[in-house]
Amino acid sequence: MAVVAATSTSLTYQGRIVKTDGTPLQYANVSFLFQIKDPSGACVIYQEHVTGINMSGSNGVFDVPIGMGTISWPAGPATVIDVFNNSSAAACGVCSGYTCTAGSSTYTPLASDGRVLSVSFHDGQGWKAITPDTAIRAVPLAGYARSAQKLGPYAASDFLIKSDINNSGAGSVSCNGGQFLTWDASTLKFGCASVSAGAGGTVTTVSVGSPLAVTNASTTPHITIPAASSSQNGYLTSTDWATFNGKLSASDLASQNAAGFTGALSGDVSGNQSSTSVDKIKGVAISATAPSTNQVLQYNGSSWAPSPLRLPAAAPSVSGQALVADTTGVLSWQSLNSGTVTAVNATSPLSSSGGATPTLSLAGLSSLGSAHQILGMNNAANGYEYKSLSGTSNQISVSHGANSITLSTPQNIHNAASPTFAGLTLSGMSSGGFVKNSGGGVLSGGHSVALSSDVSGSLPLANGGTGATSFSGSSVIASNSGGTALTTVAGTVNGSVLQHTPTGPAFSTASFPSTTSIHQILYSSANNVVGGLATANDSVLLTNSSGAPSFLAKSSDHFSQYALLAGRGAGQTLYGGTTSGADLTLHASSDATKGDILLNPSGGRVGVRHTNPTAPLTVGGDIHTHSGKFAGYMNNAGGNAFEAASIEPYADSLTSGTESSGLRFWTRVSGAVNNVMDLGSRIYAWTTVEQFSGYTVHNHASNNANGHQMEFYKSRGTHTARQPVVANDNYFAIVGSTYHSGNAWGSPSILLAGVATENHTATGAGSAFVFQTTANGTTTRANRLIIQHNGYVGIGTNGPSYPLHVVGDTYTSGYYRSPNGAIQTSDERFKRNIATINNPLEKLLEIRGVTYDWRAQEFPDKKFNERHQLGVIAQEVEKQFPEAVITDNEGYKSVQYTALVAPLIEAIKTLYQKLNIMDQDKASKAELEAANKEILRLQQENTELKMRMEKVEKALLSGHG
C-alpha cells in the first residue's frame, strides 16, 4: 500500500511562560523572535519574528506558528522548510534585533544533521531568551523529502536527474529544437540527436491553415494554395502582377516623391506635383501676404492673415512672473505685487458688513458703553453686553440684566463696630501729615486742622508751652528776638503804625495824612511825614534835582529825553521823537549789533531789526520759538527748516466738488514751486519735478457711522494736469525709518502700501494691500502679506490662488475646522525615490496609542486646551518613522498624523497576507486530515479484503482437498 504524505509551510511552537514571581505571562501584545541555527549553534540559517500575540487570559500558554511571521534571514525567497534541506549549503547571517546582514561563513550540512532552535520573546518590558536552545533532531513533518535517504521505497539511484539527460557522454552537449532523446548503452546516459533523411520515422498526418489546403493528409499528403480573389486569400496571378508593378515603389515613398502623379490638386491645396500651393485652411482663405519674422496666421473673421506674435520671445527672468497684456494686446512677463480687497468675512463673535471696506462688529454690541462698565457675555451666551460695576459690603458686584456675578475682594474689610488692625502701615502720606476721622469711619490724611472741630482744650503757644489762652485788648502777637516765645505788642495812640525796631515790632506815631484828594499819590518827606501830590490831566510824573516829585503836562518838551531800563551791562533805552508822529524805539545799547524794536505809528507797523517796516510786522531775521513746536527761516529758500515765500488763502478742487479754503505755504527753488502745504481741511505735499503724489487728510465731523478717516489721493501727471493711475502704481504708502549705529537715518524698513492692480478708469479701480518688513541682519524689505484685488490673502506668495494661500508652515493653538476635510498634494508626477515601507506592522507595534492631558499650566504660551486627548508620543513615532516627526527651534516635537496613513495601509496588507497564509495552512491541514481518513478507510478495506481472500483461499484449499 502506498502511503499518502503531505507537507506544511510552517512549524508549530508551543509552550508556557511563567514569570520569575511564579505568575504566568498574560500580556496582550507579545512578540517572538525565532532563530534556526546549525547543530553547533554558531551559524544563523534562518530568523523570523512574529508580533502581536495576545496572551491575555492564556495562563501563560502559547501556540505560535514558525513560518507565518516576517523573515529577516535569509535575504532571498525562502520558507522555514528550506532550512532543513541537507543537500545544499546555507549562508550564515549576522543578526541584531530584527535586522540581519550576510556573514562571512557558510554552513554545509551533512545528510544526518539536525538543527538548533533559539527563541526569545518580548513581554512589554524587554526581550527575554527561552533557555536552553531546542535541538531539532528529525525533519519536521517529513517537510523536506528531497533531503531524506529514500523517497518512499526508492533510493536516489532509482531516479533520473535532468542534468543526466543532456551530456557529452551520449553524443550531444545541448539539445536544440526539433531534436529527440537518445540512449547510449555503453555510457548509460541520455543524449539528443537531430532527425535526418533515412534516419527512420513515419509521418502520420499533415495539417495546414488557410489559405493552404491538403489532400491525403495521413498517407501521401499534397499541399496546394488557391489564387487570390476578392473573397479568397491566395497567390498573386500574372494579371495582378502587372497591376501591382505599376504602383508606387518604396523608394518613391521614402523620398516623398509622388512619381507618376499628373493630376491637379483642389480644395485647400491647388496646383500640381511640381507647383503646389496651400490656399486655405479648413476652407478659409489664406492672405496672399506672406508672414514676416515673429508673425503668425490669425483668423480676422474672413481669412487667415499675418499678425504679430504677442507672446514674449524669451522665458521670464524671475520665477513667479505672469503674462500680462498691455493696451495693445502685447503680452509680457511681469511680477504680480498688488491686489484688491473685495470682501472680508468674519466668524462669530465678529460679523462683517461685507464689501471692500466692511465694518466689523462684535455680536450683541451696537454702541459704546458708559463709564465704569465692563464687557461680558450675556445670559444666552450668544453675544456680548456691557455690565455695570457696583460695590457692596466686602464685595464687588458685576451686574447685568438678569443676574449678577459676585467677586470677593482681595483685602480683609472690617465692618464690625470696633475693628482692630495689627501692624497697620499707611502709604501715600506726605511728610508731616496726620490722619484724622473725616466722619462715617473714614480716615483721611492732610496738613490742615480745623480748630473749631479738630482741636479741644488749650493750644500751647510756644515749644515749652506758656499755657496762655488770651491777651490784652487791641494788641498784636509777635515772637521774641530768639523766636522761642510769643509776646503781645500793645498800641495806645489812635493812628499809630506798626513798625519794626532793632528790639522788635512797635507802634509808631509817625504822621500820615488823614485824608487825600482824588487822583493824589502819596510820597514821603522828612521825619516820616507822608504827603499827597495832586495830578493834572495828561501829566507826566517827574522829579527835580532834589528828588522831589511833581507832575508836568505832556505839552512840555520833556519827551525828547529817554528812559533807561534796568538790564544787563549799560541797559537798554526806550526813546522817541519830539512830535506825535515820531517812532518809539527800544534800543539794545549793550549789543555790538543793535537789535532795535521800532514802533511806527504810520499804519501801526512794527519792525524788528528793520528800520522801515512795510507790513504790520516786519522781521529782519529768523523767527524762533523755544516751545520746540516751530522754527523756521523766512525768505531763505533752500534752508533746512520750514521755509515760506508766501502765505495766502487758497482753495483747490480735488474731486467734482470744491474743498474749503485754507492757507498755502510754499518755497521756490530756482523759480519753481518745490513743496506746498495747504492748511485747512486738507494737507498737500508735492513737487513740480516729480509726478503728482498728493496726500489729503480729512476730518469729517458729521454724525455718521464711519467715524474719522484718512484719505489718500493719487494721480499721475502734475497737480494742474492730472493723469489716471496705472497698474502697479503705489497710490499710498506708510513707511517707517530708524536712526542706526552708523549715525544716520536708514532706508524705510517697514511699509504698508496700496497698489493699483489695473489701469484705473471710471468703472475699474482694482487694488491690493501690501505689507513689507525687513528681516534681522538685512536692510532689504520683502513682501510678507498681500491682500489681492479678489480678496485672496497671500503669505509667502505674491500671487495667492486661494482665499488664504500660505507658502510655508502654519501654527494654531486651536482647532483647524473644515467641513470638507484637508487635502494633501500626492501626485506621482511630483515624486521620486518611491519605495514601499519595510516592516510596517512591526514598526507600528512599537508605537503606543495613548490618552493624555496637556500640561497647559506649565506651557501657557502654547494655548493648550483642557480636553482629554487621544494620540501618540512623538519620540516613539520618531524611532520608527522619523519622516513623520518635526522638531521646532526649541527642540519640541510634533507628529504629522496624516503621514501615519501610509504605514497603516501597508500594515493592513501585511496582516491580510498573514491571514491568507493561515487560511492556506488550515486548508492544507484539512486536506491532510482528509487524506489520513482516506488512508485509514483504505487500510480498513485492505484488511477486510485480506480477510476475505484468506477465507477464499481456505475454502479453495478445503474443496481441493
Handedness of CA 792, 796, 801, 803 (dihedral sign): negative
Q: What is the pLDDT of residue 221?
A: 86
Rounded to 5°, angle at Cα 120 from 114 and 124: 165
Q: For 134-144, write each residue's pLDDT tens digit.
A: 888 755 445 55
Write out the H or E segment, with its range, that includes residue 905. helix 901-960
Q: What is the pLDDT of residue 850?
A: 94
Grid coordinates standing for 455? 482741636
CA distance 66 to 744: 80
Beta bridge partners of 488: 477
In whole angstroms, what separates CA 943 from the centre of its chain? 87
Q: Where are the domains of the chain?
A: 11-145, 838-961
Question: Where residue 641 falls among pLDDT bands split at 50, 70, 90?
Answer: very low
CB 755 within 8 A of CB 338: yes
pLDDT, greater one: 450 or 286: 286
Of 76 and 66, the one with more pLDDT: 66
**DSSP element (H, E) containing 691:** none
Buried b (16+ CB within 10 A) or exposed e, 645-678: eeeeebebebeeeebeebebbbbeeeeeebbbbb
> Residue 918: pLDDT above 80?
yes
C-alpha cell at position 676: 506746498
Residues 70-87 have a mean pLDDT of: 86
Query: Lowest-confidence range among 13-27, 499-513, 788-802?
Result: 499-513
In this predicted structure, what is the pLDDT of residue 54?
Answer: 92
| pLDDT for the residue numbered 150 | 60
Q: Helix, strand or coil for residue 521?
A: strand
Q: What pLDDT score does 517 carry? A: 67
More confident residue, 256 or 910: 910
Distance CA 798, CA 334 (A): 12
**Global pTM?**
0.31
Residue 819's pLDDT is what?
A: 74
Region 324-341 average pLDDT: 78
Question: Is the separation of the CB atoms in 759 and 724 below 8 Å?
Answer: yes
Average pLDDT over every residue of 673-678: 48
- What pLDDT, on a 0 to 100 scale, did the predictor assign at position 95? 92
Across 200-209, 237-246, 724-733, the highest mean pLDDT is recorded for 724-733
Q: Is the pLDDT of residue 679 over 50?
A: no
Please name the CATH architecture into which domain 11-145 falls. Sandwich (2.60)
pLDDT tens digits, 345-392: 888 788 888 777 888 887 777 777 777 678 788 877 778 787 776 555
Q: What is the mean pLDDT of residues 116-124?
A: 93
* pLDDT tens for each residue of 764-816: 999 999 999 999 999 999 999 999 999 999 999 988 988 998 988 887 777 77
Residue 28 neighbours by CB under 8 Å, 6+ apart: 54, 55, 56
Among 197-201, 428-432, 546-550, 637-641, which stretch is predicted with the lowest mean pLDDT? 637-641
Pairing of strands 642-644, 631-634: parallel
Does 843 have pLDDT greater than 50? yes
Residue 463: pLDDT band (50, 70, 90) is very low
Q: Which residue has the higher pLDDT, 935 or 625?
A: 935
Identify the top-confidence range among 119-133, 212-226, 472-486, 730-744. 119-133
Q: Which H/E stretch holds residue 252?
A: helix 250-254
pLDDT of amino acid 211: 81
pLDDT of the residue at 848: 94
- Listing from the earlier edge strand, what are the strands of the sheet with 617-619? 563-565, 572-576, 584-587, 597-600, 605-608, 617-619
Residue pair 58/24 in contact (Cβ under 8 Å)? The answer is yes
Can you name the residues that pair with 398 across neighbouring β-strands?
389, 405
pLDDT on residue 847: 94
Q: What is the pLDDT of residue 539?
A: 66
Task: Please say if the pLDDT value at position 502 is more than 70.
Answer: yes
Give the pLDDT of residue 901. Answer: 92
Would you place residue 713 in the very low, low, confident or very high pLDDT band (cuts 50, 70, 90)? confident
Q: Which residue has the cell 494736469?
A: 721
Q: How many CB atoms lie within 10 A of CB 802?
A: 9
Cell digits for 519?
487822583
Tell me what pLDDT residue 445 has.
60
Asked whether residue 763 carries a pLDDT value surpassing 90, the answer given is yes
What letter does residue 470 receive in the DSSP assignment?
A: -
Q: Which pLDDT score, from 0 to 100, does residue 697 have?
A: 44
Cα–Cα distance between 619 and 624 in angstroms, integer? 12
Cα of first residue to Cα of last residue in the chain, in angstroms, is 33
For the cut 60, the answer to whether the pLDDT of residue 871 exceeds it is yes
Stretch 661-671: mean pLDDT: 46
In the prediction, which pLDDT does 74 show? Answer: 92
Q: Are strands 44-53 and 70-73 parallel, antiparallel or unpaired?
A: antiparallel
Q: Is the pLDDT of residue 688 over 50?
A: no
**Average pLDDT for the chain:** 74
CATH code: domain 838-961 is 1.10.10
Helix (H/G/I), strand (E/B), else coil: 501: strand
Cα 216 to Cα 294: distance, rounded to the nearest angstrom: 76
Tell me what pLDDT residue 878 has.
95
Least confident of 108-117, 178-187, 639-648, 694-703: 639-648
Host H or E run for residue 551: strand 549-553
Q: To which residue does cell 531775521 refer?
A: 621
pLDDT > 90: percent of the chain: 18
| Residue type present at position 73 | W
pLDDT of residue 637: 41
* Sequence-distant (≥ 6) Cβ neighbours of residue 417 within 8 angstroms: none
Cα four-point dihedral sign 466, 469, 474, 477: positive
Here the cell at position 525 is: 518827606
- What's the mean pLDDT in 627-636? 43
Cβ atoms within 10 A of the Cβ of 446, count?
12
- Which DSSP symbol is given to 25? P
pLDDT at 704 over 80: no
Q: Give the DSSP letter string of 919-930.
A: HHHHHHHHHHHH
User: Which of 361-365, 409-413, 647-651 comes out lowest in average pLDDT?
Assistant: 647-651
Residue 410 has pLDDT above 50, yes or no: no
Lowest mean pLDDT among 175-184, 244-253, 613-622, 749-758: 244-253
Position 870 scores a pLDDT of 93
Per-residue pLDDT at 391 = 52
| DSSP one-letter string for 629-651 | S-EEEET-TT-SSEEESEEEEE-
Centroid of chain to Cα 23: 55
